[in-house]
Amino acid sequence: MLSVSELNQRHGISGQASFVQDANGFVMVKVTNAQATACIALQGAQLLHWAPAGQQPVIWVSDRAIYAPGKPVRGGAPICWPWFGPHDARADFPAHGFVRNLLWELVRVDALPDGTTQMALHFPAQNETTEQWPHDTTLDMELTVGRCLKVDLVTRNQENQPVTVGQALHTYFQIGDIRQVRILGLEGCPYIDKVRHGERHVQEGEVRFDRETDRIYLNSTRDVVIEDPVMKRRIRIAKKGSASTVVWNPWVEKSAAMKDLGADGYVRMVCVENANAADDVLVLPAYSSHHLEVCYTVEEEKP
Ligand code: TA6
């Protein structure tokens, strides 16, 4: 892997994109442009910060997050791939797949004419994952930082047979108070309730939170909006290439039991994840590719 100074020489953009290494050895690219600021770690190609100009951060990271090589950071937008949740056959395989725990290669960083900053990262095939994933596939991510945050996650199947992939952009959003947040756009969608042992229900009205919530919504292709009356904003989540949306908040007990979340960690975060999971896993035909695309936008609450 290139050193931070080599990364800055090769990919840095003066005043817009620079590489740093934190005290934990995490290499990150910090982006600042007229529209927004952002930070992406090379481990897991994990977005850890995004704030449109004039806005509070939209992406949440636990203040108890542990930054350790090979371990997922609590918060940001972890990439779950090539399976979502626990592996269906091997309990010793990492939850949510392995790409969020490993180093990605930075391919390019570009200052685009519209004032946004775009970067591309590639997940390099590595021997240590072959046992877990004996398939000839590639994974790339393109991320664009501006007033909107765009991600395009591209899976390519290079085999002469179909391959089944589960994936999600497991994004943690910063909110004022989970007890006052409403999530719109899932009305009428069937969902799998992981808190109630996989029971299937249909969403009636908006989603509100008064307990541990862990649901995989199916047939959810509309925009989802997080309405936050405390921070006086709406976060709009638009997507393509994903028909499942995961909504998660660990609530009191689970939060207290997670050392990288803590007793009150659950209050200011909510996960809304654009996924291909459960009934919606991806069966990628031979020699084909798939794009999971999301676009996050913040709308100020009208006075
Ligand atoms: O997306 C929700 C979920 O699958 C929950 O069940 C919970 O496990 C969460 O992901 C966090 O998973 P992690 O492996 O990052 O602790």
Q: Is the pLDDT of residue 97 over 90?
A: yes
Q: Is the pLDDT of residue 301 over 80?
A: no
- Out of 248, 253, 271, mutate this one to test ligand 1's pocket (max ligand atoms within 8 Å of CB): namely 248
- 286, 248, 249: which is closest to 265 by C-alpha? 249
Contact 214 CB / ligand 1 (< 6 Å): yes
Tens digits of residue pLDDT in 109-130: 999 999 999 999 999 988 788 8
pTM for this model (two decimals): 0.97
Residue nearest to atom 4 of ligand 1 (CA): 85
Contact 95 CB / ligand 1 (< 6 Å): yes
| Cβ pair 168, 273 in contact under 8 A | yes
Can you spell out the DSSP letters for 84-120? SSS-SS-TTSPTTBSGGGSBPEEEEEEE-TTS-EEEE
Tens digits of residue pLDDT in 236-287: 999 999 999 999 999 999 999 999 999 999 999 999 999 999 999 999 999 9
Which region among 68-72, 134-138, 186-190, 200-204 has the lowest average model confidence (pLDDT)?
68-72
> Residue 174 corresponds to which amino acid?
Q
CA 32 to ligand 1 center in whole angstroms: 30
